[in-house]
Structure 1
């Protein structure tokens, strides 16, 4: 083989090897974030604003928010990143003190300042069998959003003290989730009124659109192991240990 034919052979081999390498290794070609692939096949719809806890504002600012038609729990769990899915600790509807007629999940995505896709999943147990409109029916809604860094660790002592003073005015109870992490609980006030409304996603099929609604609710809020938990419910709290249930969801025990 003369030198020219050798270099021609070598060039073709390198090009062919590169094509094979790209096809085998770059499985997420065309995606900014590889987790975008998880959303393929979901029905995207228009949305109206995203949910977050107004007293903390940690997830208030989000970029390029996308909304999807609600799906079953099983479908939703297959549509979120594995490192998020393995941390979710769901419970059986039989553990709730009301009959669950609807169980469905909302997936909402956005982008963070590191150009990473952020997943939020809302998992809803609803007594009402018609829609998200509670109509004085019981519900238990868990909203979980990716947030790798502990937002409370970046606060100065003064900022954290100010936050806790504000939460005290809102009548939050600040509980110990772990030795390092807090669990914030907001019950009804002394007059049996809701001091803060709980926001959640509601799908309007007639408009093919996700709306943000709100209702009176007991509320828990926490950051743990890379996730923000926003939990709201209205049910007979005398019939179940709701704090134990919340800790089970977050901690898995």
Structure 2
């Protein structure tokens, strides 16, 4: 199944990659993650789906903004943050997308904000990363330690089809553009859902079937039905008696 990768409509915002944390020290507040099937465990997943995500905490670490884009999704059912180091499993700690019910195919672009209310309480992260995550500053600290990853599950891979570890980034967070018209007839306009101001754009594309012609292509001759095709024979007496000498 082939799909075009639909370009992401983005616009820049002024945001510092480094800012003062809640403890008064200068701490990184920006993180990126690149998602692929090769990062899944216990075994890599062969898939055409891929993704990127960006996260940014405000200086007081009371709000985290994120932007996430996935391409070539097939029956995607969930996107979550998990507490776990590179190459190890870990439980889900923050759901990143609740605005879409069921599963979807195609390309997804979503941005939203996370607060402490979105953190799943009572999750055992101590056994996986040695730290409890109950607040947003806890989540930020775990990201700085490299112990938070993004996981995308699907109907075919309910435990995860692509995954990516959140890494410290010094760039600015790039948000989806909220203006303009769709650049494809298949593009669903931006949907605003929930009090968190979630912005969702899904691009569903029909599969493109490519039929290759075999190298020895030799179509059969057309057969006319004997019952309907009966051209009259030409009377030989109508041919001129002289001058006709067909090769």
Q: TM-score, normalised by structure 2?
A: 0.27
Q: Greater share of helix residues, 1 or 2?
A: 1
TM-score, structure 1 normalization: 0.26
Select the structure with the greater relative contact order (CA < 8 A; seq sep ≥ 6).
Answer: 2
Larger radius of gyration: 2
